[in-house]
């Protein structure tokens, strides 16, 4: 735990951390059972909502399908960590001088990129996607 390997001096380390909470340690101090129930329930509800949104919006923009898949994939990745480890494993550690971003993982990156792609689809919808029947 907390072991760190410098990959790019002054920019990037691989660091082993566990996060029992959500973003930036939110709820990390809550009792374990309630925290786990809360985060697993939120993840499952969010996945259900994303499936419903996908069905309703997939033809509106070519961005929505990939965006929702990235968000759902990230949510599933973090859910698997929570179920197996009781915490999310974060290991990507970026910094620049004294500026340091909290460590995160690939699932967090997928969620962030997915939200970005979704927003691009909202502001620049592009052509409507036709479903092949």
Q: Is 90 a catalytic residue?
A: yes
CA 107 to CA 48: how far, in whole Å? 18
Check if the beta carbon of residue 101 is closer than 8 Å to that of residue 95: yes
For 93, counting Cβ atoms within 10 Å of its Cβ (0-12 exposed, 13-18 middle, 19+ buried), the class is buried
Catalytic residue among 71, 79, 90, 92: 90
Q: Is 108 a catalytic residue?
A: yes
Q: Of 15, 19, 38, which Cα lies nearest the Cα of 87?
A: 19
Catalytic residue among 77, 78, 87, 108: 108
Any idea which residues carry the catalytic annotation?
90, 108
């Amino acid at each position: 735990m907390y072991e760190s390997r410098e990959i790019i001096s002054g920019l990037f380390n691989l660091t082993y951390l566990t996060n029992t909470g959500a973003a930036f340690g939110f709820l990390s101090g809550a009792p374990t059972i309630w925290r786990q129930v809360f985060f697993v329930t939120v993840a499952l509800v969010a996945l259900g909502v994303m499936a419903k949104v996908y069905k309703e919006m997939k033809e509106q923009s070519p961005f929505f399908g990939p965006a929702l898949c990235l968000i759902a994939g990230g949510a599933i990745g973090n859910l698997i960590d929570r179920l197996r480890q009781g915490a999310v494993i974060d290991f990507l550690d970026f910094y620049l001088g004294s500026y340091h971003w909290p460590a995160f993982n690939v699932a967090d990156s997928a969620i962030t990129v997915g939200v970005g792609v979704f927003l691009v689809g909202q502001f620049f919808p592009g052509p409507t996607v036709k479903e092949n029947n």
